[in-house]
Structure 1
Amino acid sequence: MRQIYYLPAHVVSESKALLPDDKQIARGWHAVHLGEGQEQLSLLWQFQGDQLKQAAVQGSRLRITVALDYRDAQQVDVFLRQSNAWIGAIDIRYAYVFQPFELLLTEEQTAAVLNEGVRLELKNGKEPLWVFDAHDDEASRVLFAPHLLMGEPDSRVNEAMHTMLSLSSLQPFGWMEGCVLDGLHSLQPILGENRVNPILDLHFSQFFNERGDLLYEDLHGKQADGTFTTIEATLPLAVIVKYRMDHPVILKALEFFEATGRRNGGAVIDEDMVSAEGSYTVAYPLAVMARQFKRQDMAEQAIAQILLRRDCLAREQHVYLRFHPRSQEHTFCNWARAFAWYCLGLVKTCVELKDSPYANLSGIAELEAEIIRVAQVAVNWRQPNGLWSCFVDDPTTEIDTSGSAGISAALALGASRQLLPSTYMSLAQRNLVELSSYLSPDGILTGVAQHNAGGMELQRSGYRVHSQMGLGLWAQLYAYTK
């Protein structure tokens, strides 16, 4: 029996505001606007006698989950509904859909919240904030409803597995959901297809109809059905190809890769930008396709996309997130997730191709050499606890658990496939223990640097969030160290 539980709230008053004309809530979900004045959101919890007494003798976490891309940095003030007493604020900056935010409550505050309810108010917001509502008490969606999280589990690692193997790990389609799907698929050898595959199907059902049509919103909340808006959107294809080789979206992805490459002289990039993400979101899916469909041209293309990023982004002890060929400008030097994307794509591409008929292509040796080189570079930037700062060369930017999980997963996979010495596996195993201390009571990875919508200032600020995307990277590390 689980020792944690969610107490979903009832939305008793809400704004009548309409969504911006060009935005939409995720398919099959509904949400409420949260603002000030008449736009405030009021919540109540309905319990009887002993239920209320039992719930009100412990601290809790008041949670809301963002339902529409939010490009602002504001605090949501939380007041008791009857007494109007202020009990805290939820700090929300540049949030993405399906991302939970919380306010820690004491035992006394929890009792007051359960008795009075709360109202939530966002003042002076430049952007509208929309959060998911109660979803008619659907158990599978309870994480995303306004709720109180109660209790403390015996094992947060077990809770992380529970969260991964559910709808609670859902993320926006693209690189975020791709990290989760990759984490789920990597757990197959450990947990078995009977446990993992139904969850893959559950996640796919959010983004595909019965005909296999791709239906989703991009990271700006705009409808993007049937298209790939950027090269970051194609990461899910790696797992889709492994799991459903006949899925119709695969052909669309191939067409996207080919069209993008034609426009850029063979480089699969977004406009004038070579990005580290493409190592993971382009080269790796191409390598999976090469292996599954026995296509040497795809294998060669996967190698070419890695080497392009090696030549443009890797400079001695540094890895950049972006390079703009026209201006020759490099940006985001030594960002931890740039290391993670580069290393994960590099190692996974190499592993896929070495398991294919194309293990002896001329570029494979270059990939293997770069794995050894960049692994040592990454290790040299570790902090005393074994993890990496948000900018790996600047400890003042504080630990980023997502970048650390991604780098560690790449090292573990490389070591498990003899692409790296066994010492890297020992390092990854120690990092798994350290990262597991950052799991929330219900198993979501905390300590994650927010996604990159807020630019350099936000990344250097030390601001951290809960993230299922980060949990997907943690799950990969967990799987590769077993």
Structure 2
Amino acid sequence: MRQIQYLPAHVISESKASVPAGKQITRGWHAIHVGEGQEQLNLQWALPEEQRQQVAGQASRLRISIALDYRDAGLVEVYLQQSHVRLGAIDIRYAYVFQLFELALSKAQTAAVLNEGIRLELKEGKVPLWVFDVQEDAPGREVFAPHLLMGEPGSRVDEALNTLLSLSSLQPFGWMEGCVLDGINSLQPVLGENQVNPILDLHFSQFFNEQGDLLYEDLHGQQADGTFTTIEATLPLAVIAQYRPDHSVIGKALDFFEAASRNNNGAVIDRSIVSAEGSYTVAYPLAVMAKQFQRREMAEQAIAQVRIRRDCLTREQHVYLRYQLDTQTHTFRSWARAFAWYCLGLVKTCVELKTSPFADLAGVEELEAEIVRIAQVAVNWRQPNGLWSCFVDDPATGIDTSGSAGISAALALAASQGLLPDAYMAVARYNLAELSASLSPDGILTGVAQHNAGGMALQRSGYRVLSQMGLGLWAQLYAYTQ
């Protein structure tokens, strides 16, 4: 039985604003607008007396979850509803759908919130802010409703596994949900199919109908049914191809890869940008499909996509996130998640091919050599606590737990497969312990650098968030170190 609990709020008054034109709330979900003045959002908690006594004297975390892509920086001011006492502000910058934000409340503040209720007002931001409402007709979505998180778990690692193996780990379809699916799937050897497969089915049901049609909104809140808007959107195909190799979306992904390759002289990229993400979101799914379907040309394409990233994005001790082919310029030097995407894609592509009929392809040896080289480069950038800064060559940017989890997972997987010495597994296990200390009471990874919609300034600012995507990376590290 879980030792934490979610206490969902009841909405008692809300704005009558409409969703901006061209945007849409995730289908089947309910959302509410957070405004100011007459547009403020008012919440209350109506707990049975027995439950009220049970939580009496506890501190809590007030949570809200983003329901529509938010490309702005705003503060959600939190006030007690009756006494109008200000409790604090939730700092929300460039947030994505399903992302959680929280405000820590003391014991006294929690008691006052349960007694009076609260009102939320958006300050400073110019873009409308939408958050998910209580989803009373859909069980399993409690974490996304406005709620108070109560209690302290005996083990945050256990809570992380509970959260991951539920709908609470849901992220937008594409690279974010792909990290979660990869994390869930990586637990197969540890927990078994009976625990893992039903959760994969649960997550797939959020994006595919019974006919297998892909139905989702992209990271801008725009309908993207049946399409892949960028090469970052195809990461889920790695798990889909392993778990449901007959799924109709696989053919659509292959068509997408072929079109991108044809338009860019063999490089599967967006426009003229070679990105580190493609090592993980393109090469890795292609390697999985090559193994699954016994397709040599897919194996060769997977190797080619890693080579392109190696040649365009690695420069001595650095990995860049992007290389612009037309201007021959690099951006985001040594960003931790660029290292993570590059390393995860490199290692996972190599592992898939080495356990396939294509293990003897000449390019596989190149991948193995690059794994050895980049692993040493990465370890040389570690900070005193074993983790990596948001920009690994600039400690002043602060630790990024998501990039650290991704790099560590790549090291652990490579070491477990004999691609790296055992010393790297020791590094990964040490980092797992460090990162597990950054799990929230319900097991979501904290200390994560926000996704880079806010550009370089936001990444260097030290701003950090909770992230289920980060939890997916942590889960891979956990699985590969067992």
Measured against the shorter chain, the TM-score band is over 0.9
How much does 1:138 deviate?
4.1
SS at match of 1:206: coil
Asked whether 1:451 is paired with 2:417, we answer: no
Q: What's the counterpart of residue 292 of structure 1? A: 292
2:189 — aligned with what?
A: 189
Q: Contact 2:75/2:124 (CA < 8 Å) preserved in 1? A: no
Please tell me the residue identity of whatever aligns with 2:380. Answer: N
Query: Is the contact between residue 8 and residue 137 of structure 1 (CA under 8 Å) also seen in structure 2?
Result: no
Q: Shift of the alpha carbon at 1:125?
A: 2.2
State the match for 1:154 in structure 2: 154
In 2, are the aligned partners of 1:97 and 1:172 still within 8 Å (CA)?
Answer: yes
Q: Which amino acid aligns with 2:473?
A: L
Query: Deviations 1:436-460 (Å, cap 9, x if unpaired)?
Result: 0000000000000000100000000
- Equivalent residue for 2:426? 426
- Counterpart of 2:82, as a letter, is Q
Residue 394 of structure 1 and its aligned partner are, at CA, apart by 0.5
Alpha-carbon distance in structure 1 between the residues aligned to 2:125 and 2:423: 50
CA distance in 1, matches of 2:235, 2:49: 50
CA distance in 1, matches of 2:47, 2:149: 15
Question: Which AA in structure 1 matches 2:343?
Answer: C
Written as runs of structure 1 = structure 2, the 5 A alignment for 1:40-51 is 40-51=40-51
Whole-angstrom CA distance in 2 between matches of 1:239 and 1:49: 46
Shift of 1:50: 4.0
CA distance in 2 between partners of 1:291 and 1:229 (Å): 25
| Superimposed CA distance per residue, residues 67-97 of structure 1 (whole angstroms, 9 cap, x where no aligned partner) | 0000011110000001111110001000000
Query: 4+ residue runs of structure 1 moved beyond 6 angstroms?
Result: none
Write the deviation string for residues 230-257 of structure 1: whole angstroms up to 9, x where unpaired.
0000000000000000000000000000
Tell me the residue number matched to 2:278. Answer: 278
> 1:165 matched to which residue of 2?
165
SS where residue 172 of structure 1 aligns? coil
1:9-38 CA-to-partner distances (Å, cap 9, x unmatched) read 001111110001100011211100101112
- Hey, what does 2:316 align to over in structure 1? 316
How big is the shift at 1:126? 1.3
Which TM-score applies when normalising by structure 1? 0.99
Contact 2:320 2:338 in 1 (8 A): yes
What corresponds to 2:220 in structure 1?
A: 220
1:319–1:333 Cα contact (<8 Å) kept: yes
Q: Aligned to 1:72, what secondary structure does the other structure show?
A: strand
- Contact 1:8-1:45 within 8 A present in 2 as well: yes
SS at match of 2:153: coil
Question: How far apart in 2 are the matches of 1:309 and 1:124?
Answer: 40
Contact 1:35 1:125 in 2 (8 A): no
Per-residue Cα deviation, 1:202-244 (whole angstroms, up to 9, x for no partner): 0000000000000000000000000000000000000000000
**Residue 358 of structure 1: aligned partner:** 358
- Structure 2 CA distance, aligned partners of 1:413 and 1:467? 22
Aligned pairs (5 A) from 1:358-397: 358-397=358-397
Q: Which moved more, 1:123-132 or 1:449-458?
A: 123-132
Identity, in percent, stands at 77
Change (3 A) 1:194 1:50: closer
CA distance in 2, matches of 1:136, 1:98: 17
SS at match of 1:94: strand
- After superposition, the C-alpha distances for 1:410-457 in whole angstroms (9 at most, x for unaligned) are 000000000000100000000000000000000000000000100000
- Aligned positions of 1:172-211 closer than 5 A: 172-211=172-211
- Whether 2:476 is the aligned partner of 1:480: answer no
Indicate the residue corresponding to 1:235 in structure 2. Answer: 235
Q: Distance in 2 between matches of 1:2 and 1:252?
A: 41
Greater mean deviation of Cα atoms: 234-243 or 19-28: 19-28
Preserved contact between residue 73 and residue 124 of structure 2 (Cα < 8 Å):
no
Distance in 1 separating the partners of 2:135 and 2:4 = 20
Q: What CA distance in whole angstroms lies between the structure 1 residues aligned with 2:440 and 2:330?
A: 36
Are 1:73 and 2:54 an aligned pair?
A: no
Contact 1:56 1:114 in 2 (8 A): no
RMSD of Structure 2 on Structure 1 (CA): 0.7
Structure 1 residues 329-371: Cα deviation after superposition (integer angstroms, max 9, x where no partner): 0000000000000000000000000011110111111100000
Amino acid in structure 2 at the alignment position of 1:346: L
Distance 1:287 1:98 in 2: 30
Q: Secondary structure at the match of 1:439?
A: coil
SS in 2 for 1:71: strand
